[in-house]
Amino acid sequence: MNVLILGSGGREHTFAWKLAQSPLLNKLYIAPGNAGTATLGENIKIKPDDFTAVKSLCIDKEINMVVVGPEDPLVKGIHDFFLADADLKNIPVIGPQKAAAELEGSKDFAKEFLLRHNIPTAAYKTFTSKNLEEGYTFLETLKAPYVLKADGLAAGKGVLILNSINEAKAELKEMLTEAKFGTASNKVVIEEFLDGIELSVFVLTDGNSYKVLPTAKDYKRIGEGDTGLNTGGMGAISPVPFADDTFMHKIEERIVKPTVEGLKKDDLPYKGFIFIGLIKVDDAPMVIEYNVRMGDPETEAVLPRIKSDLLELFQAVGEGKLAEKTLELDPRFATTVMMVSAGYPEEYEKGKNITGIENVQDSIVFHAGTKLEGSEIHTNGGRVIALTSLGEKMNEALTNSFANADKIKFEGKYYRTDIGFDL
């Protein structure tokens, strides 16, 4: 089987690493890929949302399956593009169709879906520039802190949590009238703040049956102790220790099943991953958000714990036969530590030489923002390299990840040394 992975980050390198282990794989292509994916298949320099270029590549390389890493191509309708094209319609796409991708593409759509299917979530209202004053009034009905979410895609940075009512009003105005997050904040969802501990649950579905993948918890803030600016993610732990069998049963019955059934009821065809961002409030799980793809860096912690052949599972998704497959998991902890460029998540420089990768032991190196320049590997993004380790105990795995992070060198390198501190 010839497989095309769309994307260029740590998530896509992890997919490539896992799929490369399958005896079903013939050739692997990654578009555009990074320095890590280049060791597992062939990188092709095209943008994942350039559908015409993707089509040409699929025909030229006789692609049998497309795995979509990032959200943009899904929200823009790449799956629909394939289904509507006579040359592509028989190629399975791992990722939902455009209508279902609105679960991530629009916070308002997701909240309406949750309420319609009685899935537990925070109280909310949606506002535009036309009813800004009503937004102010709604804020006054809530207790601090105040949660503001840009409705559209904002690269994981469109959520603000503010302690001051005046600051919340000022930010709401900036989002709606001054396009703080561009068109993503044409609409803003104001939401009740839920106090608890967060985790992520990942589901693979063929639209009828599903498999619940390992849980994970990521660490968004740039600074130690979860301080500073939000990032795409500074590290992750899988499994989440507090998500025991009793709690997972609640998640499956109250959230996973109603989500999959809700998609069917609403006629939203779905073949791919559902990323459910949850919070544990007292002993009850509640949904914070949906994403329609795997998370990053959670993928780097989740996939190494899957023993089953991932390509075989994807094939079953495409054929609607996922129920026939079993999911085998590694019981050990996986811990992922993300190394980032100086200045990230704000301005940062690229092109810094990376050395020491060959010295890594007992960890898996997943490239995120890297690029091959001749025989050298250079930084090419804010998040540069993820290091994942497996261990019987979480701290054992973390010790390996941190030790190996010290071995890799590039100018301005930074990573959090407290991943897992709250578990």
Tokens for 245, please give them.
């069998």
For residue 170, what is the DSSP state?
A: H
First to last CA, the chain: 41
Q: Rounded to two decimals, what is the model's pTM?
A: 0.90
Q: Decide: helix, strand or coil at residue 329.
A: strand
Burial class (CB in 10 A: 0-12, 13-18, 19+), 345: buried
What value, to the nearest 5°, has the Cα angle with vertex 278 and ends 221 and 187?
75
The CA radius of gyration of the chain, in Å to the nearest whole number, is 21
The reply to whether omega before 239 is within 30° of 0 (cis) is yes
From first to last of the 423 residues of the chain, give the pLDDT tens digit.
Answer: 999 999 999 999 999 999 999 999 999 999 999 999 999 999 999 999 999 999 999 999 999 999 999 999 999 999 999 999 999 999 999 999 999 999 998 888 998 999 999 999 988 888 888 888 888 888 888 888 988 888 877 665 678 888 889 989 988 888 888 877 777 778 888 888 888 999 999 999 999 999 999 999 999 999 999 999 989 999 999 999 999 999 999 999 999 999 999 999 999 999 999 999 999 998 999 999 999 999 999 999 999 999 999 999 999 999 999 999 999 999 999 999 999 999 999 999 999 999 999 999 999 999 999 999 999 999 999 999 999 999 999 999 999 999 999 999 999 999 999 999 988
Beta-ladder partners of 28: 3
Instruction: Please write the tens of the pLDDT for every residue from 37-82.
Output: 999 999 999 999 999 999 999 999 999 999 999 999 999 999 999 9
Q: Are 19 and 309 in contact (CB under 8 A)?
A: no
Distances (CA, A) of 238 to 112, 125, 305, 334: 30, 33, 8, 5
Tokens for 401, please give them.
């990840």
Residue 250 CB contacts under 8 Å (≥ 6 apart), including other chains: 283, 284, 285
Looking at the chain, the domain(s) classified CATH 3.30.1490.20 span: 123-191
Q: Decide: helix, strand or coil at residue 317.
A: helix
Tokens for 82, please give them.
């394939």
Looking at the chain, the domain(s) classified CATH 3.40.50.20 span: 2-98
Q: Are 334 and 390 in contact (CB under 8 A)?
A: yes
The hierarchical CATH code for the domain 123-191 is 3.30.1490.20
Q: Are 285 and 246 in contact (CB under 8 A)?
A: no
Tokens for 187, please give them.
């609409």
The single residue listed with the structure tokens 């009740």 is 192
The hierarchical CATH code for the domain 2-98 is 3.40.50.20
Instruction: Please write the tens of the pLDDT for every residue from 72-120.
Output: 999 999 999 999 999 999 999 999 999 999 999 888 899 899 999 999 9
